[in-house]
Structure 1
């Protein structure tokens, strides 16, 4: 991004903050709170939703588990993020389509080999 464009965006943000009464201290406090929440997360979804592992399990994690995903898959710093670079290993025991018609469908391209 060039410097003029950056300066223009900064000026726009400052104008909007002044219009709604947001001070720089308010913004800094909100960013600090987000960073604390981000660091305390034990589980994180692909969309950035987090859960510390305390209290009731959030809906996004409940839905993923009911779809057949493991809780460990969403662990921050867990095995899902430290996968070996040699290539992903697939654990078919965790296949959410196991037992469904989709799992038993045969492709004519695969059978022709």
Structure 2
């Protein structure tokens, strides 16, 4: 459980990030509706995906197969290995690299962002 001081610090970091994002959006003329529409389109594309690799590339199974599918199947991998579904999800999660906790970096997403590696020697 987080202490009250930690929660207050997290809230200040959040406010700092929100202010930074608002300035950048204003600088580029991006409206909140633009962000919402982009996120909705991304979500729709992810729902439409029938195949996904460990790097996050997706394919809906229609049209010519993308390069990542051709390369994998040419190397002997089964197309069903990449099928999206209940059976495929746990396997993909175990392949993911350790995530970075960006909540600890108030400048996440900017050129000032930094990645702190706590796992020295991890491949």
TM-score (norm 2): 0.62
Q: Which runs of 4+ in 1 moved over 6 A?
A: none
Once the 2 structures are TM-superposed, how far is the Cα of residue 79 of structure 1 from its aligned partner?
Answer: 4.2
**C-alpha displacement of 1:23:** 0.5
Supply the distance in 1 between the matched residues of 2:69 and 2:34 (Cα, whole angstroms).
31
Matched, 1:68 2:76: yes
Tell me the alpha carbon deviations over residues 15-74 of structure 1, each in whole angstroms, 9 at most, x when there is no partner.
101001111111110000001000010001111111000011010111111111110010
Q: Which runs of 5+ in 2 are unaligned?
A: 1-6, 92-123
Aligned residues: 83
Q: How far is the alpha carbon of 1:80 from its aligned partner?
A: 3.8
Q: Gapped runs of 5+ residues in structure 1?
A: 84-113
TM-score under structure 1 length normalisation: 0.67
Q: Which has the higher relative contact order, 1 or 2, with Cα contacts under 8 A spaced 6 or more apart? A: 2
Larger Rg: 1
Matching residue of 1:46 = 54
SS at match of 1:4: helix
Q: Structure 1 residues 27 and 80 mapped into 2: Cα distance closer, same or farther (>3 Å)?
A: closer
